[in-house]
Amino acid sequence: MTTLNRISADAQELVNKVRQYSREQRTQWNHVPFWALEADGRDGYTEDYKRAYSHGLWNIDNTVAIDLESGELVQKHSLAEGILEPARDYDIIAFTLHPDIITAAKVLEMLKVHAAEPMAQYMNARADEIMKHREAERKRYGLPRDCPEGFSLDGYFAGRNARLQRIAHEKHRERLTWNT
């Protein structure tokens, strides 16, 4: 085996280990949508938190996200087609030197700390509005009011998957319309 072949094989092995590491944290990733909603709006709103509770994806970088149902590393922009495609190997290699960004316990810890913080002073005047918004989002996406350890968000993910199927079906119909 040549040096170049060994490097390629080692890189592939590293990518496989990173994918497995993320999948092994599935149970913890499952709780991120709940905590992202609880943290959102305390100091403004973030697209990352919104994507976590609305689509079940946690952003890693511009190209990769974690599917919070399975722990799979996926292409962030494949969501627009309603299909979660696996992240490309070379995108995964890019963040292997920073494993904290795919460590569910660290993400959950950050979200729980943020969720426990009081509303930012400039947001206090809107506290009631924020609470109403959070409740509306809970209902819209099927998230519970409480998420104790071991609680399952299977119902939430079933709703998310149904939304993805509708998007994929609509995109397919659009393509058929363009082709006629």
Extents of the domains making up the chain: 3-179
Tell me: pLDDT of 135 over 60: yes
pTM for the full predicted model: 0.84
pLDDT at 124: 64
CA dihedral 108→109→115→121, nearest 10 degrees, is -130
Tell me: pLDDT of 127 over 80: no
50: left (phi over 0), alpha (psi -120 to 50) or beta: alpha
Contacts of 94 (CB under 8 A, 6+ apart): 61
The rounded distance, in Å, linking the Cα atoms of 98 and 105 is: 14
pLDDT, greater one: 149 or 16? 16
Tell me: pLDDT of 168 over 90: no
pLDDT, greater one: 152 or 159? 159
- Over residues 50-68, the mean pLDDT reads 94
pLDDT, greater one: 103 or 179? 103
